[in-house]
Structure 1
Amino acid sequence: MECSLTADLNHTVVHASDKQASAEFLAGVLGLEVGAPFGPFIPVDTGNGVTLDFYAAEGPVASQHYAFLVPDEEFDTMIDRLQAAGVTYYADPHHTEPGRINRLFGGRGAYFDDPDGHNMEIITRPYARPA
């Protein structure tokens, strides 16, 4: 069966206990801007046109995973921002290798938690998948 790509992710909601603080945290790590409030959302636009809409959660926040493809030349700066904020980063998604990065698929990557425990990931190369 032939597949043509006809859909792009436009936006997604990120539940947060403090939507402003969570948006500012992620934007700060990634070097992005926090947008003006849009209805109940605090938006952060990524470089590929996807908007993360931070939304005030009612009750506990369920941890999600968000991965960001970042330029290799910005990776060290992002790690430095995490360290300056006192945030531990890890080489693996299960957070068993603190203070280390991975080198999967010829790139570099790291995982870290946002203020609500979302498992954030920065990678410099997309993961290779079999065709």
Structure 2
Amino acid sequence: MSVSFNHTIIASKDRARSAAFFRDLLELGEAPSWGVFTNIVLDDGVLLQFAEPPVDIQMQHYAFLVDDELFRRAYARLIEADIDHWADPQMRRKGECNSGHGGRGVYFFDPPGHAIELITRPYL
């Protein structure tokens, strides 16, 4: 059997708000949810499970590979929502996106404060 990524739990103080943020940004449909999880499913079947932990949330980094058209629409939504964003992970180039690795990329924070990256070309 080959190895593939199946799911991850993303901590959030408001799981419904976080799931809605990603559904809207990445144009994803509703997914079945259960128990303490509000779920969304990416096009490749990877499940993102949003949960409200009983502890302080530590920032994590999540990067999403998207096509050029979805990037254009998602980037426009970031600007429209006045979400701070940067072209670099060091947050030196505010209000820009990058053109690294032959594509485009942008960094920003989701509602609970996780560092999110959208890229149009994989690093490898």
For normalisation by structure 2, the TM-score amounts to 0.93
Equivalent in the alignment of 1:23: 19
Equivalent residues of 1:90, 1:111 under 8 A apart: yes
Give the counterpart letter for 2:12 in structure 1: A
Residue 70 of structure 2 is aligned to residue 107 of structure 1: no
Percent identical pairs in the alignment equals: 40
Q: How far does the alpha carbon of each residue in 1:13-59 deviate from its partner, in whole angstroms, 9 at most, with x for none?
A: 00101000011111111111242322210011111110100011212
2:88 is the alignment partner of 1:92: yes
User: Does residue 73 of structure 1 match 2:69?
Assistant: yes
Q: Residue 80 of structure 2 aligns to which amino acid in structure 1?
A: A
- 8 Å contact kept, 1:29–1:78: yes
Distance (Å, rounded) in 2 between the aligned partners of 1:97 and 1:49: 33
The corresponding residue for 1:14 is 10
The letter for the 2-side match of 1:39 is G
Query: Unpaired runs of 5+ in structure 2?
Result: none
Q: Where does structure 1 lack aligned partners over 5 or more consecutive residues?
A: none
Equivalent pairs counted in the alignment come to 124
2:93 partner SS:
coil
Asked which structure has the greater CA Rg, the reply is 1
When normalised by structure 1's length, the TM-score is 0.89
Counterpart of 1:50? 46
Post-superposition, which runs of at least 4 consecutive aligned residues in structure 1 deviate over 3 A?
none
